Amino acid sequence: MTIDGSVSPSGAVAPARSPAPTSTSSRATRILGTVALVGTAALVVFGLWITPPDAQLGETIRILYMHVPTVSAAYVAFIITAVASVAYLWKRTEFWDLLAASSAEIGVLFFALTIFNGMLWGRITWGVFWRWEPRLTTTTVLFLTYLGYLAVRRVPTSTRTRGTVSAVIGILAVVNIPITHKAVDWWRGLHQEKTIFGTVDPEMQGTQLFTAYLGLTVFLVLFAWLLIHRFRLAWLTERAEEQGLDAAIAERRAEGSLS
């Protein structure tokens, strides 16, 4: 993953005088972005118009075409964060630290979306925005766990301390995902009610099933696109901080006079 071929993010130390790239996009991200955009448009058309309403869920099934993908992408994000955290403690390179942080940030965003569209679903199905439905409750607890992770990253400290501390939290948090799942499931076990996932998968057929998988694919592509950009942005932020504000301004001026 190189930025304009000039800087190698996988190296621990960047060359001091390498020209900073001016954008986080590359050919690969433009292709990914286009696919995500077209896919989203297709998902909207399929999800809102082409698919029929569900026999049991009615029109609310359309929320699931977004709900399932957002929550899946978030879990993928947190697994990437955990793997990158382990790799950071092992290799101690900036690449893994920034990858973990970038992935967690997007995961939190997708979790927020999941909670939001879950609440919309709840408003229609239960008549209230919130019930202690296991999936929604678990998601909210984990959302707060990862907000803590992001808060830690904002505490001013040395890069190495920040990397170590957040890697540890990234690992502890991911281990808590199955435990929290199990605990909340059990906790709500006595109060069986219509859940946002429970009634879906086996019943889906034809265009519904296609749309569900389309949604999953589109959101994973979107996630990958966001992750690459967010990572590159984090990488550039580190470089900018290294060079100091003055140097950065001087460079921007120089670029301005060239073009």
Chain contacts with another protein (rule: CB under 8 A): 89, 141-142, 144-145, 147-148, 151-152, 155, 157, 160-161, 164-165, 167-169, 171-173, 175-176, 179-180, 182-184, 186-187
CB-wise, 79 or 152, nearer to another protein?
Answer: 152
Residue pair 157/140 in contact by the 8 Å Cβ criterion: no
Number of Cα atoms under 13 Å in the Cβ half of residue 239? 26
Minimum CB–partner distance for residue 159 and another protein (Å): 11
Residue pair 247/83 in contact by the 8 Å Cβ criterion: no
| Spatial CB neighbours of 236, under 8 Å, sequence gap ≥ 6 | 3, 20, 21, 24
Calculated CA dihedral for residues 165, 169, 102, 44, nearest 10 degrees: -170
Using alpha carbons, list the distances in angstroms from residue 252 to 17, 20, 122.
Answer: 14, 10, 50
Minimum CB–partner distance for residue 113 and another protein (Å): 19
Give residue for tokens 């879990």.
Answer: 75
Minimum CB–partner distance for residue 179 and another protein (Å): 5
Minimum CB–partner distance for residue 237 and another protein (Å): 19
CB-wise, 50 or 172, nearer to another protein?
Answer: 172
CB-wise, 19 or 148, nearer to another protein?
Answer: 148
Minimum CB–partner distance for residue 122 and another protein (Å): 20
CB-wise, 119 or 147, nearer to another protein?
Answer: 147
Rounded to whole angstroms, how far apart are CA atoms 10 and 103?
16
CB-wise, 28 or 144, nearer to another protein?
Answer: 144
